[in-house]
Structure 1
Amino acid sequence: MSGMTHRLRTLVNTQLARRGYSLRWRPPHLISSPDQSIELGFAVLAAHLMLTTPRPFFIGIGANDGVTHDPIFPFIRDFGWRGIMVEPIPEAFARLKDNYTRYPDVTLVEAAIGKADSVSTIYSVDMSTANSMSMSLHSSFSRDVLLQARRWHPDLESKIVERQVPTISFETLLRSTKGQPVDVLKIDAEGYDLEILRTIDLVALAPQLVLVEHANIPRSGKIEMAERLTAAGYRVGLTSLDMLGYKETAYSRAQLYV
């Protein structure tokens, strides 16, 4: 969105708000009858979290450009969420910086999350072609996981390159929070999601909402992922791509059922 468009949108929203209207994005209405349960999804959980925490603080691991397929972005844009975004691919990080110039409350970290502060090999793509950014969404520490994206990009294998990227531990990343409690944790690491989750003490961190991609994780890994969440006191739900963990006490007003 251009600066002029952004200012116009802000002006229109301000004028309409004075009359009781709003053009801001709203999560979808997913109340179903007759049992009045809510279809579990990130947008619903995030919206209900804001009933008690109007501007949640988040950590987003695997940001890419911070906009494409990122469920947190609408909440940053429209509701002022604060937090940290992590992305290791240089070209994607450059795009992330461009997209987030208007969001000073979001700290950007150019790194991958690993077991220690080091340098690691990640499999990405040659960034010289028109669809490189789209293919880079699938960058992974596993070449096999990256290759699964051939269903959308038939020529992907010929574009694969190995990149050396900085890797930091989750504990190192937490220093960027400066002691700010973390309300939302998102992990989108293309097959490395469980490895990252294993390095996080969820009980100590205590985010109210956890979103972890499971699409590239084998069945045994999905089970372990769910067990780690439930052991830390979360209720668990699934979408086709992600596993959601939420604290039941935090969502008691939402009457969520899974």
Structure 2
Amino acid sequence: MRLDKVVGLVALWASRRPTLISVANKVRHQCERIIGLSLSAGIDHERNGEGWLVERLAPTCGYFVDVGGNVGAWSLAMAGRMSNPRGMIFEPSPATAAVLRENLSQYPGLEVVEIAVSDAPGQASFFAEPDTGETSSLIVGHARSDANCVQVQVSTLDQELGKRRIPHVDLLKIDAEGFDYHVLRGAIGYIARGAIDVIQFEYNYPWADAGSTLGGAISLLQRHGYDVSVLLPDGLREFRYDKFREFFHYSNFVAVRRGFLFRG
């Protein structure tokens, strides 16, 4: 009997045993955690590769967009390395947006936009954590239990960039706590015509609650002329989706428009 048939019969036998199904679930979760840890160096943007990307792109960056700016740590790092800081930072939490404006007040070329970003305009419930919490989200249950539910305006990047007649974005950074793929879909006009050079987006377990998949995001970007890599402290590493599949743990990915060359 062929080995693959034997394996199939064993799997079929195991699928009828609740105890083995429970063990398989636990093993799967641990395997996904191991994969996630191998593709991430944590959330500190100065150490997880985001700083590496900023150092290489900021000196020649003309305009950036930061979706999910929180209090502005990443945007300040970008602006501090740009010769003429210009950009747009989105933060839907009213209290956090107020702190963000104060933190970025030294840069008149940076606009703080107090709305959420997704793939369609409208209104939505946003769960805003106190004390400018970093996991405030549009997703029920992702934010901390003490989060305050507020109604916020929702728009798309295509709409907001178009209103301001921004022709080109050098770097788009997305940290939308699970809605990153929705943000990408809402920027499809700019993505399809190659009007964004580099896109950095976060991938994490809230993607599942948002109905999103990494495979879908990568497929969308590749169809429109982008190469997608995982971001690590020492730079970009090739990522093969057919090898890793979905693992729903924190990591950062970078999509680079084909033909764009890193400098420095």
Q: Same fold (TM over 0.5)?
A: yes
Task: Work out which of the residue numbers 54, 63, 67 in structure 2 matches 1:61.
Answer: 67
Q: Find the aligned partners of 1:252 and 1:77 in 2 and give their Cα distance.
A: 19
Report which stretch shifted further, 184-193 or 198-207: 198-207
| Structure 2 partner of 1:145 | 142
The 5 A counterparts of 1:127-206 are 127=130, 132-133=131-132, 136-146=133-143, 156-157=144-145, 159-201=146-188, 202-206=191-195
1:251 to 1:118, Cα distance in 2 relative to 1, 3 A: same
Q: Is the contact made by 1:60 and 1:84 (CA closer than 8 Å) also made in structure 2?
A: yes
Aligned AA (1:208)? D
Unaligned runs of 5+ residues in structure 1 are 1-39, 147-155
Aligned AA (1:76)? A
Aligned AA (2:154)? T
The reply on whether 1:77 has 2:80 as its aligned counterpart is yes
Q: State the secondary structure of the residue aligned to 1:95.
A: helix
1:243 to 1:58, Cα distance in 2 relative to 1, 3 A: same
Q: Is the contact made by 1:48 and 1:251 (CA closer than 8 Å) also made in structure 2?
A: no
Q: How many residues align?
A: 193
Divergent runs of 4+, >6 A: none
| Structure 1 partner of 2:230 | 238
Q: CA deviation at 1:253?
A: 6.2
Question: What TM-score comes out, normalization by structure 2 length?
Answer: 0.65
The reply on whether 1:93 has 2:90 as its aligned counterpart is no
1:117 to 1:229, Cα distance in 2 relative to 1, 3 A: closer
Q: Find the aligned partners of 1:192 and 1:163 in 2 and give their Cα distance.
A: 17
Q: State the secondary structure of the residue aligned to 1:249.
A: coil
Deviations 1:137-162 (A, max 9, x none): 1011112322xxxxxxxxx42x1321
1:253 to 1:65, Cα distance in 2 relative to 1, 3 A: closer
Larger Rg computed on CA atoms: 2
Q: Find the aligned partners of 2:118 and 2:76 in 1 and give their Cα distance.
A: 24
Q: CA deviation at 1:205?
A: 4.9
Give RMSD over aligned pairs. Answer: 2.5
Question: What TM-score comes out, normalization by structure 1 length?
Answer: 0.67
Q: Find the aligned partners of 2:81 and 2:174 in 1 and give their Cα distance.
A: 22
Q: Is the contact made by 1:42 and 1:244 (CA closer than 8 Å) also made in structure 2?
A: no
Aligned AA (2:67)? I
Q: Find the aligned partners of 1:160 and 1:181 in 2 and give their Cα distance.
A: 36
Q: Find the aligned partners of 1:211 and 1:64 in 2 and give their Cα distance.
A: 16
